[in-house]
């Protein structure tokens, strides 16, 4: 695959992650109003993994993996779907506003930078500046752009922990033995993560009662299955294997911007001066990170090739 085609695929995958995941905070919030968080999100990932696996099997893709590859995929299922997405759902169920959750999840980039430094992989000064600038922009956007209710400290701590786990999973993925086909990886990552989430939900005392949930809940859950998991999660797994981690992490800045726009478009939420200023700072930060975290040259590509 030539560099121009590869760049186009990276841009397309990032666009999916930017837009679709920006809309999932609202969907999660709707789901956890009736569904228990871990069981609800676990069933989402389990069903998405099975559906994606079925589609791949129909196309003749071999879903079999080695023990080492399965172990790597299951570890990511623990770090990303369970400890990442599942903890966000728990935090939102405990009363953390979706805007505050988006701000806390934006710390993914900060955690990734910390992991890189601890591993001796020092990012460029401008990359660090871009990360910090993006976090400042998010703080201004969320905290300065709207009045927040009291945030439960335990719930906020859980969401921040989710951000740390998600950042670690994203950082460690290239260092694991994984299926070379990114979509096969997504299948095993999602269904294993879903099973672990449901199991933890049962231990937590959660009960799924499908017959009692309303149409709005099922619509939001279905959106998370098809778009949030099958489409966007697969795109995220693929782009992690084919783009610099600093570039991939910029989704944490763009998602809240998308959420604010959708709130204005669908819910008529006002766009204040703080929203405009915060959004501009975030765009500048993303531009800085994208500029310094360029795609590697052809002879420096990562071991996982695009498929």
Give the pLDDT confidence score for residue 148 in this predicted structure: 46
Would the pTM of this model clear 0.85, i.e. be above it?
Answer: no
Task: Please check whether residue 302 lies inside any domain of the structure.
Answer: no
Res 244: pLDDT:
79
Domain assignment present for residue 303? The answer is no
Q: Is residue 305 part of a domain?
A: no
304 inside domain: no
User: Is 306 contained in some domain?
Assistant: no
Task: Note down the domain range covering 243.
Answer: 17-295
Contact predicate 138/253, CB 8 Å: yes
Residues 6+ apart with CB under 8 A from 92: 25, 28, 29, 32, 37, 98, 101, 155, 159
Task: Report the domain count for the chain.
Answer: 1
Q: Compute the distance between CA of residue 281 and CA of residue 287 in angstroms, rounded to an integer.
A: 10
Residues in the chain, total: 307
Residue 23 lies in a domain: yes
Q: Which two tokens stand for residue 206?
A: 């959660």
Q: Produce one character per residue of 62-89: b if its CB has 16 or more CB atoms within 10 Å, e if not.
A: eeebeeebbebbbbbbbbbbbbbbbbbb
Residue 267 is predicted with a pLDDT of 56
Q: Tell me if 301 is assigned to some domain.
A: no
Q: Return d(Cα 300, Cα 93) in angstroms, integer.
A: 44
Reported as type and span, the H/E element at residue 170 is helix 153-172
Residue 118's pLDDT is 85
- Residue by residue, pLDDT tens for the chain (307 residues) are 667 777 888 888 888 988 898 888 888 988 998 999 999 999 999 999 999 999 999 999 999 999 999 999 999 999 999 999 999 999 989 877 776 777 778 777 778 878 888 888 887 888 888 888 888 877 776 666 445 445 677 887 898 899 889 889 988 888 899 998 888 998 999 999 999 999 999 999 998 888 899 998 999 999 999 998 888 877 887 887 788 777 777 777 788 778 777 767 775 655 666 667 777 787 787 777 767 765 444 333 333 322 2
Q: Is residue 8 in a domain? A: no
Please report the pLDDT score of residue 294 as a whole number. Answer: 55
Both tokens of 286, joined, read 């993303």
**pLDDT (0 to 100) of residue 56:** 92
């Amino acid at each position: 695959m030539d560099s121009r085609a590869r760049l186009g695929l990276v841009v397309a995958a990032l666009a999916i992650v930017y837009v679709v995941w920006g809309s999932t905070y609202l969907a999660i919030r709707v789901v956890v109003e009736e569904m228990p968080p871990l069981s609800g999100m676990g069933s989402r990932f389990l069903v998405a993994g099975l559906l994606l696996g079925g589609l791949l099997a129909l196309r003749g893709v071999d879903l079999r993996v080695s023990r080492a590859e399965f172990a790597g995929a299951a570890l990511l299922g623990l770090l990303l779907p369970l400890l990442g997405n599942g903890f966000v759902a728990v935090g939102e169920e405990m009363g953390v506003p979706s805007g505050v959750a988006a701000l806390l999840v934006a710390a993914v980039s900060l955690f990734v930078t910390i992991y890189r430094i601890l591993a001796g992989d020092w990012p460029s000064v401008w990359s660090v500046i871009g990360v910090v600038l993006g976090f400042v922009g998010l703080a201004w956007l969320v905290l300065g752009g709207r009045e927040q209710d009291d945030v439960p400290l335990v719930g906020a701590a859980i969401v921040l922990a989710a951000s740390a786990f998600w950042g670690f999973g994203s950082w460690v993925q290239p260092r694991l033995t994984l299926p070379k086909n990114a979509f096969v990886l997504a299948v095993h990552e999602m269904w294993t993560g879903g099973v672990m989430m449901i199991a933890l939900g049962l231990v937590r005392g959660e009960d799924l009662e499908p017959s009692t949930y309303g149409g709005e809940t099922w619509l939001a859950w279905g959106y998370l299955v098809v778009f949030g998991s099958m489409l966007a999660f697969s795109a995220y797994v693929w782009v992690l294997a084919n783009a610099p981690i600093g570039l991939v992490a910029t989704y944490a800045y763009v998602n809240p911007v998308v959420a604010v726009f959708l709130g204005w478009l669908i819910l008529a939420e006002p766009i204040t001066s703080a929203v405009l200023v915060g959004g501009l700072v975030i765009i500048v930060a993303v531009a800085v990170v994208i500029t310094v975290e360029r795609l590697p040259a052809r002879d420096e590509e990562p071991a996982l090739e695009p498929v």
